[in-house]
Homo-oligomer: A and B are copies of this chain.
Amino acid sequence: MATQTAAQRREAAKAAYDAFLACCPARQLLDTISDKWVTLILAALSDGPKRYSELSRIIAGVSQKMLTQSLRTLERDGLVSRTVTPRVPVRVDYELTTLGRGLQEIMGTMKRWAERNIEEVHAARAAYDTRENSPAGRAAAG
């Protein structure tokens, strides 16, 4: 029972870590906002309620599967409210909740930081990519 102990320990550690992460509010938030469409929906709703078809048009590249799926997630998390008007053609409006607007502010904070520092990141990338091509000086640079 000594041969695969390493793998088993790793597996156990992974399980413990996953459990830890699952409980971490920050990770849950990240999992939510890291979704490409969620962020776009939030942004689209920032200037008032929108209908399903409006969102579909504004966000453009989204498939209705992802749009519906993302909206349901947002609704479930209490970030947007869903209002159904059972007319002849059904009408559904989506709107940011107070919680959703709070999340928007966080996104705004992130956005500002990103805009202030993106150039530095790009510069770092360019430098890194340049070094990558130079024949010597990578390992011996330190």
A contact residues vs B (CB 8 Å cutoff): 10, 13-18, 21, 25-31, 33-34, 36, 39, 59-61, 75-79, 83-86, 99, 102-103, 106-107, 109-111, 113-115, 117-118, 120-121, 123-125, 127-129, 139-142
Contact = CB atoms under 8 A, between A and B. Distances in A.
A125 B86 contact: no
Given A99-B117, A103-B117, 16 more contacts: A15-B61, A25-B114, A26-B39, A26-B110, A26-B114, A26-B115, A28-B114, A29-B114, A30-B34, A33-B34, A76-B124, A78-B127, A83-B142, A84-B142, A99-B124, A102-B117
Contacts of A103: 113, 117
A27 B14 contact: no
A139 to B, nearest CB: 5
A17 B61 contact: yes
